[in-house]
Structure 1
Amino acid sequence: MSLYQHFRKEEQGFIDRVLGWKDQTEQTYAPKLTDFLDPRQVFIVQSIIGTTGEVKVSFEGGDSAERKRALIYPDYLHPSTDDFDLQLLEITYPSKFFTVEHKHVLGSLMGLGIKREKFGDIIFAGEKIYLVAAKEFASFFTMNLNQIGKHSVLVKEVDWKDYTPSNEKWKERFVTLSSLRLDVVLAGALTLSRQKAQLLIQAGKIKVNFKEEEQPSFECAQGDMISVRGFGRLRIGEIEGKSKKDKWRLTIFTMGG
């Protein structure tokens, strides 16, 4: 059976890259550090490389990170956090005078001409905003990210030990669903009617792996990150397969709302 059959057609290009990284590590016997990967990409890398054999993989992106860098390495290596070249940046702004949302920070970062893969999570913690960046781009952000929207901001490098993560945690739920269609998954995870879930999708309020998805029939898979405007986020964990009654058994993690 072809490896590609286990994944979506549009993921074939990424799968080829993962196979290339694995081959590179096997041939050079040296580690390969990737850019930041989204949760679905992390799942794909883990599935292809696994934890056995001469090539292994570890992931790091900070505490409870959604986006992580992968380190693909020969089995003689015992990687540490330093091997992932992560730099934590603190963004300060006059919070008494204006409100900053995730989309504003992301828009300003993308406006600098940097690819999304070069930085990880954007974290809100009280009146501070933290950005996890690839170390090689940290100085670029400190020098060039001078404003968010029309408001001036200050960006500086900080130590991980000075970072206080958010108290918000993922809530784990086990669900049984009739299918893995997006509308069915949303209805089951958010305790909505299927019709309400379909309306949210068709209204453009749903993103799957950070891309807008307007097809209720979209087939969800393990590792997918789904954001629902007004409801928060959910992530699909392990899919255990089907029950005797032909229902899908899976774990779903939810946050926010």
Structure 2
Amino acid sequence: MSLEYNLNFIKDKAKKSNIKKAISILERGFYTNQEVSSFFLDPFERKVIGDIARKNNIDIVFIGGNDKCERKIFVANYYYLPLEESNYIKVLTFNGSEIKHPDVLGALVHMGIGRNSIGDISVLNGLVEFAVLEEEANFIKYNLSKIKREGIKIEIKEESKLIKEKEDYISSTSFISSVRLDNIVSSLINSSRAKAKILINNRLVKVDHQTITDPSYNLDEGAMISIRREGRFIFDRIKGLSKKGNYHIEYRKLI
């Protein structure tokens, strides 16, 4: 008996490859009925894995240090709830007055820490915290002492709880002729459709964490659109139609 799943709906090849790696971990738990845990997954990847687990009657939970975390690991075939998160992930913390999210990620990757081993990164009022897989924590603590020429002293939090700042959005509305991706991207960044198509074709646009390269891709209400160097947006809903038949949409930009 094998695990049942279908990944044909996934457009992003890199995303599909990552999900297949996660499925292989899930399959190991399925065949052995033993507890297994994964690397960090984004919300889209978690939805796919969660759907597969439910379809195959596999008990699964996701943890990332905070309920609001974007990146989380899964634990399948667990024995007790609630899980002790520190058995699977660690939250590291340090003070860094001028350090930003990309600086932390860049430093970790430069050390040879894989992106899948790194969870959310929080920078709040000079306090930096980030989640990693449990097995990476001590290596990072004792080997990462400087980021952007700023000396740092990393500590591992006793409880693997990550502080997350509240995300704020600016709400806006606009009119578009269709819910094609190029139309919506053009409206979100106030540019021409031609520029929007270039961004999409150059793999600089993600929808719900999937890289979409088809400008004619139709978006659903509630979709999150990430545009490289422009930010993240939520396409909330279609409010109605104008007299000319254009869609009146509501969206938010993360600030």
The TM-score, its normalising length taken from structure 2, stands at 0.71
Matched, 1:21 2:21: no
Matched, 1:82 2:84: yes
Provide structure 2 residue ranges, at least 5 long, that are not aligned to the other structure.
238-245
Distance 1:78 1:221, change over 3 A: farther
Shift of 1:78: 4.0
RMSD value, Cα: 4.2
Q: Secondary structure at the match of 2:59?
A: strand
Q: Secondary structure at the match of 2:103?
A: helix
Distance 1:210 1:226 in 2: 8
**Paired residues of 1:177 and 1:185 also in contact (CA < 8 A):** no
Shift of 1:30: 1.1
The TM-score, its normalising length taken from structure 1, stands at 0.71
From 53, 57, 60, give the equivalent of 1:54: 57
Hey, what does 2:178 align to over in structure 1?
Answer: 178
Q: Aligned residue pairs: how many?
A: 236
Cα deviation 1:143-188 (Å, max 9, x = unaligned): 111111222111111244886431325689999983453x334346
Shift of 1:219: 4.2
**Paired residues of 2:40 and 2:72 also in contact (CA < 8 A):** yes
Distance 1:193 1:227, change over 3 A: closer
Calculate percent identity across the aligned residue pairs: 17
Shift of 1:49: 2.0
Shift of 1:131: 0.9
Matched, 1:32 2:36: yes
Shift of 1:40: 2.4
Provide structure 1 residue ranges, at least 5 long, that are not aligned to the other structure.
239-246
Hey, what does 1:131 align to over in structure 2?
Answer: 130
Shift of 1:85: 1.5
Q: Secondary structure at the match of 1:35?
A: coil
**Paired residues of 2:70 and 2:120 also in contact (CA < 8 A):** yes
Q: Which 10-residue stretch deviates more, 199-208 or 103-112?
A: 199-208
Q: Secondary structure at the match of 1:37?
A: coil
Distance 1:197 1:130, change over 3 A: farther
**Paired residues of 2:233 and 2:254 also in contact (CA < 8 A):** yes
Hey, what does 2:121 align to over in structure 1?
Answer: 122
Amino acid paired to 2:70: E
Shift of 1:80: 2.4
**Paired residues of 1:204 and 1:213 also in contact (CA < 8 A):** no
Matched, 1:255 2:254: yes
Distance 1:236 1:24 in 2: 38
From 206, 209, 230, give the equivalent of 1:208: 206
